[in-house]
Amino acid sequence: MIAISGEGLTLDQVEAVARGGPEVRGGGVAVRLDEDAAGRVRRSRAALERLLEGADPVYGVNTGFGRLAHVRIARDAQRELQRNMVRSHAAGTGDALPVEEVRAILLLRANALARGQSGCRPVVIERLLELLNHGIHPVVPEVGSVGASGDLAPLAHVALALMGEGRAEAGGVEGDAGELLAAAGIAPLELAEKEGLALVNGTQAVTGIGILAVRRFWRALDVVDVAGAMSLEGLRGTPRPFRAEIHAARPHPGQIASARRLRSLLDRSEIRESHRTGDSRVQDAYSLRCMPQVHGAAREAHAYAHGILATEANSTTDNPLVMPGEDSVLSGGNFHAQLVAQCLDLVAIAAADLAAISERRIDRLLNPDLSGLPAFLSPEPGIRSGLMIVQVAAADALAEMRVLAAPASIDSVSTSASQEDHVSMGMACARKLRRSVALLETVLAAEILCGAQAVEFHRPLRAGAGVERALEVVRDRVPRLDRDRVLAGDIAIVRELVAGGALCNP
């Protein structure tokens, strides 16, 4: 049970609710509105209603939106304004967001409204949570937001389903949102003043997609050390560059953490002991020797993004804000997603660099001039091609990741008749990060396939304890390559292990 209060929602909780589970899909209550938060929401609503009795303009409540903010709306038309706004803003296009991302958006929007600064009634939040608890998910097209003034189109499709309009999904079956609500015993939401604006004006689409992508990236960060350690053993490299004294001399936390993990993964290596003396190499290539520095830089990017997203998940991001203690309404720009967009761009850059160093290790493993192992790690090079094309697949993924690393957050486009003349392009950042992390998982799967094969050429010697545990996980699903076979399935299986966390912390 998670109580939504607008404060303290963690990225772990967001992912847990987004991924769902038997307790959610079976109709059990997984999320509820905190009672204290409900009190704040009621006070905010009461303050707004008092303000509406006066003659002062309140943006988006008794005025139009954007460039139409100068148009005053009569009292008896203010609820119609909210319905019209939701319908007109539900202009998304492209593929529907995955259910997991929609669930993250629902949760985050409910949490933002629970802060009690949006002027909505508690029933609005409760309906969002009912969708989560009943497993009803609005169909939200993925294209249509520039990340300011909030994620208008994606969130409008969410609000549309609450109204019983548009399309939704339940149990893997898409249908009319109103019919799915009725089947679950949920009444369509009749929007009151400001509630349409409160539902669509926020950063929850870019934040929800970003959180899930960054969580996947976090798992990849653990796996990249495993893959690198496996490659180091296969190439008979030295762990000396990972000594604590070296990294204490340049004490970046991410670098120190990666070096520590590499030391742990390589501990008690018989392969290392077999070439401790008599090896003519003075230093390994950078893709091996500089793993803590490169992997650590990605850890720093993740730490930054995690902090930004954790704050954003517990923020009020609509406009205007209703301040119940003052009976005032403040117009601002918290809907602008620049901070989130930039951190997602940073993670996409870090992901591309992790894929780049991983691909270089794959090349060294497969090149007999560099590895001292059979060409392409084939038991019979020539008649058998071994893992030759695995590197080609990784190189293709890396090429796309380098394109995706180009920042979208600097590419502002003026919208809404130049009223919204600087925007974050946050949804573009989130979409490309989602794709980039998926490609990184593929590259790491390719390295692990090659590293596992290379380690086994050194049998009966055993690799470091952590490497051996990871190898057991892989070999439980994918056998050693003794003769050529279709490798697409092998890559897919190991990619699943990478994405699902089975190779984290071996």
The single-letter DSSP state of residue 72 is B
Tokens read off for 250:
């340049």
Calpha distance 253→437 (Å, rounded)? 22
Q: How many CB atoms lie within 10 A of CB 121?
A: 22
| 369 phi/psi in degrees, rounded to 5 | -70, -25
Calpha distance 427→435 (Å, rounded)? 12
- The alpha helices in 267-405, defined as continuous H runs, are 270-274, 286-289, 291-312, 338-366, 368-371, 388-404
**58 within 8 A of 52, measured Cβ to Cβ:** yes
Tokens read off for 421:
């003349």
Q: Annotated catalytic, 286?
A: no
* Cβ-Cβ contacts under 8 Å for 362 (sequence gap 6 or more): 231, 390, 391, 394, 446, 447, 450
Calpha distance 113→164 (Å, rounded)? 20
Q: Which of 58, 103, 106, 104 is nearest to 82 (CA)?
A: 58
Secondary structure E strands in 20-62: 31-33
- Please pick, among 3, 36, 46, 59, the residue that the annotation labels catalytic: 59
* Cβ-Cβ contacts under 8 Å for 380 (sequence gap 6 or more): 483
Provide the annotated active-site residues: 59
